Structure 1
Amino acid sequence: MGGPQAREKEKWLADVVEQHFAQNSGLHQDEVENFIADILDNEFDTIIEDGSLAQLSALICKHHEMCREGREQEVLESLSQRIPQTRTFAMPMPGEYDSDDETEIMEHINSTVSTQMNGLHLNGDISNTTQRRDEPNEDGWTVVKHGKKK
């Protein structure tokens, strides 16, 4: 889902979900969940099976209702407390550098990536060796299995 156009993809997805709410009144959490799941599957070849999509959809519906009631400030406060800031990294492309020297281009790319990675922190070690499917492994990554849509 990342890549050079990651920010554009994020904005597009947010716009599509916003438009879906504008065109359909009284949406339920399961309808929003199915809508987003279809987009992720069809546009990004991604299937979410860890329950986070249901949580996200419920939160979106709750916040949408709060906004309709004029409680936008509460929504902003809720978002700042619940959702950690995420970073989207743009992979520098060789054409973005003003040199024909391949070594200089690679140094520029490596430098840019290193700069972007400096602020990252891995999750702490996980001592429990028996993990549920939705818990991060020892590297801090959560494994999301890709499967056929039913």
Structure 2
Amino acid sequence: MSAGARAAVEEIALTRGPSGLGFNIIGGTDQQYIAHDSGIYVSSIKEKGAAAADGRLQEGDQILEVNGFKMEDLLHNAAVDLFRNAGENVLLKVRHKVLNQQNGPSGNRSERDSEDSSLAMLAIPVLLSVAVVAIFAFVKYRQRM
């Protein structure tokens, strides 16, 4: 990918299996996954689902369209309903997550792109820090009993 290039966009056709399409989503206008971004993102891939068998969809990918319907400005539940009612054969348009984006050349990235990727990269360490503090507090509390 050249300097300043955006993440790759790909169309992925999936056939609904016994466990549905085999992935979960996060995001929407009411549950923003990334600050100032109401996009719909893949939060997890189910091991034996259709998405895992295909192998191209990854956690962190943004779902841009489902069967030609743009996933813009939707409430989370509306996006979930769209997936549930998409039929057996589903065509997704996906923007793949950029790996190691913070280490690459910044090129023409906008200030918002930089802020969004930084916030996404901070989410996991912050959650881990909160978990460690909670465990430490619980252990200290138990020692006092």
Q: Could you state the TM-score of these two structures normalised by the residue count of structure 2?
A: 0.27
Q: Could you state the TM-score of these two structures normalised by the residue count of structure 1?
A: 0.27
